[in-house]
Structure 1
Amino acid sequence: MIPRIVPALLMAALPAGAEPAGRVVIVSIDGLQPSHYLGGAAARAPVLQKLASEGARVGGLETVFPGATVPAHASLVTGVRPARHGIAFDFVWDPRFQRTGPYSHGSDIRARALWQAVRERGGTTAALFWPATADAPIDWLLPAVESMPAPPAALRRYATKGLLDALAATAGDATPETLDSPSRRDAYAAKAASAILLERKPHLLLVRLGQLGAAMREHGRSHEAVSAAAAWVDEALGVVVQGIADAGLAAETTVVVAGSHGFVDYDKLCAPNAVLRAAGLIAGDRPSSAWLVVAHTCGAAAAVFVDAASPMSAAEVEQAFRKEAMFQGSPVYRILSREELDGLGAMPGAAFGLEAEPGWSFTDDLRAKTPFLLRVGRTKGAYGHRPTRPGMDAGLLLRGRGVKAGGILAQARLVDVAPTVARLMGLSMPGTEGRVLAELLAE
């Protein structure tokens, strides 16, 4: 049996009947594109296609900036952009370089998340491999640990006590091989979701499936491996959807399937810190608390931080980057002013930002002697671009309780998902930057 964790004190403080109205299962699919359910690739994604035909769909879901896994998933559950929720990159930016690695903890999110709103109403929550959830107040939790040192040990450390053992009979063991492989991790997550739905019936379940995004990162957008990954993820999604039915929850559950960001093909790397090295602003080959200026990258995005003690002003540093912005007559990146970053709700504290042009992505490499590292050798997929960059749109589908069958919306934003889910569950989510997608909901 899966362990029961009851927020007893919270429950005692709420009036009878105060539980959330209905249940919601949010499945995040890294790399989900509208084409996967609007045509073309949908032929290899029958579950997505069926959900789209029976429910409501969006022609394009605008991501945040940087369009990257952890910032985007935090926006999905808070309804605010990175500058508000505090996770501005995939990997931690710490000016003193005392903390490194990915943003992985729920305490990193400084905005109110859906799981808090659900628990405040006396509901229960579960999350499987959702980014930035370690130590979050979630009843049944298996956090995303693939970027942590020793993932199996980290998973056991942060998972709900007893949950891994309880899931072993139905989902199998969370072995190193399972956690290292996106496809095996997705299969495990889908089976675990079904077991939790059957035995615990949470009001809110968050599941992240990563195989499609992993294939796009490794091979670019159009490789055969991406089509195969779409079929694999679609099968895992089908397991979750069937799990809702098997648990007898279909009539009271809304399924939300959302992408977090898109990808843009690249075959060349730029090392922005090499520009700073050439200007004499970086010494050594590893980060140091004695930095004066540093570029912190996130895929095809980079934030340039200028310390007050820097011998060069922010404007002078920006000019150094302008001088290196072209390679063989073509642009490598564009510079984003502080004003532009504020408009994007991005990169707090940075003097300015960089966005790689198509064909390029960034590396943090401090050892690079030249900004232009033509070493990729084949096409890969870059994340992190601005939301308006072609290819960065994600997909969004809703089906089930409270959804307008046949509802179609040309465009929505990632930050619209949380307030829409809150409306479906009768929750209060004040202060979000998104809106309720009323066009997709039943009257």
Structure 2
Amino acid sequence: MSRLSTTCLALAAALGVASCVATPVSKQPVSQSAVVSASASQAAPPDLVILVSIDGFSPDYLGKGQTPVLDGLVAGGAFGPMRPSFPSVTFPNHYTLVTGLHPDHHGVVGNRFTDAQLGAFTMASKETGFWDQAEPIWVTAEKAGIRTGTMFWPGSEVEIHGVRPSHWMPFDQSMPGDARVDRVLSWLDLPADQRPKLETLYFDIVDTAGHRYHPGGAETQAAVASVDASMGRLVEGLKARGLYDRTMLVVVSDHGMAATSPDRVVWIDDIIDPAALKIGYGGAVLTADPAPGREAEVQAKLVGRHPHMECWNKADVPARLVYGSNPRVAQIVCLVETGWLTATRDRPVTRSGGAHGYDNQAPEMAAVFIAHGPGVVAGRRLTDLDSVDVQPFLARMLGLDAPAGDGRAADTLPVTTP
């Protein structure tokens, strides 16, 4: 049994629902379209699709008393722990969710990276060129004449392939969760010819708390409860508009969170002079390029196995990570043991907290997938889900012919209640 299957079974027991249904493990991810019942193809499509991301939300947060709304969606819909893409960080995985492509294929290969022509990318970058190696679902929808509204989703603030969402807002971290929900609901009150059929909604406070405190800390649990309350506001707002029973709610996260400590640090200085490296990304995953003239030193000292870390030249990154072919990936990629961090002596780790970016198969990095709406079989439990499968599912719900990605876009086997 896979580690994600174990997580699913534990959650099912915690919620008091039917046990997970194991899907055969294959080289291809299992399509999220499997959550729809056999009769769904005859049923009317949903009038509205809302994709909700709760950044840094682990499946382990469900079923423990803080999430009555989300637990209700799980019990009345389909659920599975979901494998993120590597590196298991925010921007790459959010773009994977809406493009169906791994970061190596959609081009947003990290929260920070360098493009040879465009220069350095950060989470504040707004240049279109960083995003145009792929087509997000809102662009596909807009091109097909379906209006969309995006609430803070990474990539939604820029014009991609000449298209923007009909409604969008620049990211404002200070905007409370309830205010975000109210804005999404307000778009549904527009005249019919302006109203979105696809909306996205993003919450970040669970990730922020998990980093600052601890994935199991009281502050993190409070953030989980706050987002759940905002989800309750969304559900009630849909009910008040007569839309709840005609809405496909898809709740996902981009990754989980692992506990970290100053006692679990890989010191780069103990391996190589940090001046020999141009570090692109550090912490839970390390990417770096050799400094000019120090290539041989980097090959000799950094590439290879180290305690709690293994480093490869990008061409040699294990195939299962699907990472290393994009020109934006740094020359050296290091996989850090889950729960450990890389650091240099001049910028030490001084406090415990949480981090992500680790091996995407680590159970601590598991993301969440919930689907609730027309045609979804209540109580369906799925395993071996992959984040690249979300975009094909969204496209199917919207009746769109979306660009082919790394997920399985075809309709899958009929689903029966467990």
Shorter-chain TM band = 0.7 to 0.9
Q: Distance in 1 between matches of 2:299 and 2:223?
A: 40
- Asked whether the 8 Å contact 2:57–2:257 carries over to 1, the reply is no
- Asked whether the 8 Å contact 1:92–1:103 carries over to 2, the reply is no
- The equivalent of 1:24 in structure 2 is 49
Task: Measure how far apart 1:31 and its partner are.
Answer: 2.0
- Asked whether the 8 Å contact 2:98–2:391 carries over to 1, the reply is yes
Do residues 352 (structure 1) and 332 (structure 2) align?
Answer: yes
Q: Distance in 1 between matches of 2:127 and 2:68?
A: 34
Q: 1:298 to 1:129 in 2, by over 3 A?
A: farther
Task: Measure how far apart 1:270 and its partner are.
Answer: 4.6
Q: 1:351 to 1:244 in 2, by over 3 A?
A: same
C-alpha offsets along residues 373-419 of structure 1, whole Å, 9 cap, x if unaligned? 65423x21111112112300011100012322222102200110000
Question: How large is the Cα RMSD of the aligned pairs?
Answer: 2.8
Aligned-partner residue type, residue 294 of structure 1: K
Q: 1:192 to 1:319 in 2, by over 3 A?
A: same
- The equivalent of 1:277 in structure 2 is 273
SS at match of 1:396: strand
Q: Distance in 2 between matches of 1:49 and 1:77?
A: 24
C-alpha offsets along residues 79-99 of structure 1, whole Å, 9 cap, x if unaligned? 001011110111242458954
- Asked whether the 8 Å contact 1:194–1:239 carries over to 2, the reply is no
Pick aligned residue for 1:121 from 144, 162, 181: 144
- The equivalent of 2:72 in structure 1 is 50
Q: Distance in 2 between matches of 1:227 and 1:74?
A: 26
Aligned-partner residue type, residue 335 of structure 1: C
Where in structure 2 are the equivalents of 1:32-43 lying within 5 Å?
Answer: 32-37=57-62, 39=63, 41=64, 43=65
Q: Distance in 2 between matches of 1:362 and 1:440?
A: 46
Task: Measure how far apart 1:430 and its partner are.
Answer: 3.2
Where in structure 2 are the equivalents of 1:364-375 lying within 5 Å?
Answer: 368-369=344-345, 374-375=348-349
- Asked whether the 8 Å contact 1:44–1:227 carries over to 2, the reply is yes
Pick aligned residue for 1:230 from 205, 218, 224: 224
Q: Distance in 2 between matches of 1:423 and 1:198?
A: 25
Q: 1:235 to 1:369 in 2, by over 3 A?
A: closer
Where in structure 2 are the equivalents of 1:303-322 lying within 5 Å?
Answer: 303-306=287-290, 310-313=293-296, 316-321=297-302
- The equivalent of 1:376 in structure 2 is 350
Q: Distance in 1 between matches of 2:380 and 2:148?
A: 28
TM-score by length of 2: 0.77
Q: 1:362 to 1:247 in 2, by over 3 A?
A: farther
Pick aligned residue for 1:301 from 269, 272, 285: 285
Where in structure 2 are the equivalents of 1:27-426 lying within 5 Å?
Answer: 27-37=52-62, 39=63, 41=64, 43-58=65-80, 60-94=81-115, 98-99=119-120, 101-102=122-123, 104-105=125-126, 107=128, 108-109=130-131, 110-136=133-159, 137-144=164-171, 146=173, 178-179=174-175, 184=176, 186-199=177-190, 201-268=195-262, 269-270=265-266, 272=268, 277=273, 281=276, 293-297=277-281, 299-306=283-290, 310-313=293-296, 316-321=297-302, 325=306, 331-337=307-313, 338-340=315-317, 343-347=320-324, 348-349=326-327, 350-362=330-342, 368-369=344-345, 374-377=348-351, 379-426=352-399
- The equivalent of 1:10 in structure 2 is none
Q: Distance in 2 between matches of 1:264 and 1:391?
A: 6
- Asked whether the 8 Å contact 1:193–1:243 carries over to 2, the reply is no
Q: 1:97 to 1:252 in 2, by over 3 A?
A: closer
- The equivalent of 1:163 in structure 2 is none
Q: How many percent of aligned residue pairs carry the same amino acid?
A: 25
Task: Measure how far apart 1:334 and its partner are.
Answer: 2.2
- The equivalent of 1:169 in structure 2 is none
- Asked whether the 8 Å contact 2:49–2:197 carries over to 1, the reply is yes
Q: 1:351 to 1:78 in 2, by over 3 A?
A: same
Structure 2 unaligned spans of 5+: 1-44
